[in-house]
Amino acid sequence: MVDYKSFEICRSGEWSNSFEVCILTYDERFLRRKVLKTFRSKKVLIDLSQTTSLDHGDALVIEDGRFIEVVAAKEPLLKVTGKDLVKLAWHIGNRHTPCQIEAKRLLIQEDPVIGHMLEHLGATVTSLLEPFDPEKGAYGYGRTHSHEHGNTSHD
């Protein structure tokens, strides 16, 4: 039994006044149809028309029009620092690894194999626990899992 149903989302900045919160990891924020548990242990059935990537600050709109805020959960990450962050970011991207890019550090999900590779490239890699908000895909909002490069029509 679910307490709420949501068939729609509002992006950060397009809504206000949440009455409830869902704290979700990066992987949990990629969904189409799923039951989530709120901070107060209420169950929310999410049933979206297509698979969607939710970001910190987005909101689920429930049937009566109220908002449930989406909050990025702290999760195990690797902090990557070094002399040449551009080169390190290229190697991370070359492996299609989601990456949060900041001026003095890169953050990736904890992955010992990628961490080891980066250390061999001269990076300092440190484990930490923080919310994860990686860069979005180049061809659309949120995550993209396709490598299609064919003709695209924009009407």
What are the C-alpha distances in Å from 45 to residues 25, 38, 48?
17, 11, 10
CATH number of the domain within which 54 lies: 2.60.260.20
Domain of residue 79 covers 75-131
Q: Evaluate whether residue 152 is within a structural domain.
A: no
Look at residue 22 in the predicted model and tell me its pLDDT. Answer: 97
- Would 148 be classed as within a structural domain? no
Answer yes or no: is 29 within a domain.
yes
If asked whether residues 43 and 64 sit together in one domain, one would say: yes
CB 15 within 8 A of CB 59: yes
Contacts of 12 (CB under 8 A, 6+ apart): 55, 56, 57, 58, 59
Cα–Cα distance, 147 to 152 (Å, whole number):
13
Task: Quickly state the pLDDT bin for 139 (edges 50, 70, 90).
Answer: low
The verdict on 44 and 79 lying in the same domain is no
Specify whether 67 is located in the same domain as 83: no
How do beta strands 124-131 and 67-72 pair? unpaired
DSSP category for residue 76: E
Q: Characterise 96 by phi-psi region: left (phi > 0), alpha (psi -120 to 50), beta (else).
A: left
Phi/psi of residue 39, nearest 5 degrees = -60, -35
Q: Are both 66 and 29 inside the same structural domain?
A: yes
CA distance 21 to 101: 26
Q: What is the CATH number of the domain that holds 113?
A: 3.30.70.790
Do 41 and 84 share a structural domain? no
For the chain, the domain total comes to 2
Q: Are residues 32 and 61 in the same domain?
A: yes
| 7 C-beta neighbours (distance < 10 Å), count | 13
Per residue in 47-104, pLDDT tens?
999 999 999 999 999 999 999 999 999 999 999 999 999 999 999 999 999 999 999 9
Does 60 lie in the same domain as 84?
no
Positive/negative CA dihedral, 74, 136, 13, 47: negative
Q: What is the mean pLDDT of residues 19-40?
A: 96
Global pTM exceeds 0.85: no
Residues 18 and 59 in one domain: yes
Name the domain boundary from 56, 72, 88: 72
